[in-house]
Amino acid sequence: MDREELAEFLTRQVRLVESVPLDSTGASADGLDDAEREAVWLAAGIATFIGQAIADEPERFIVAARERCGASEGGTR
């Protein structure tokens, strides 16, 4: 995994998901308090973006094994 690219991607997606207001209609029906609901909202949003990005552009995050081995000897991946 290209951890640096993944970390940058996650940072951008967290900001995006956090900018979308949480719909609190029917909030009491799910049994979650506000903090739990917000955590689920954030996790679901990020998971959706990650899954879609890996499906659409796996080369963005996947590094060949030989590149990874070379990077572990002093690289950043």
Exposed, middle or buried: residue 45 (CB in 10 Å: 0-12, 13-18, 19+)? middle
6-42 tens-digit pLDDT: 889 888 888 888 887 776 655 556 677 888 888 888 8
Please report the pLDDT score of residue 56 as a whole number.
92
Please report the pLDDT score of residue 54 as a whole number.
85
User: For all residues of the chain together, what is the average pLDDT?
Assistant: 77
Please report the pLDDT score of residue 67 as a whole number.
60
Rounded CA-CA distance 77/68 in Å is 6
Domain ranges of the chain: 1-18+38-77
Under 8 Å between Cβ of 14 and 50? no
* Residue 74 pLDDT class (50, 70, 90 cuts): low
First to last CA, the chain: 7
Reported pTM? 0.56
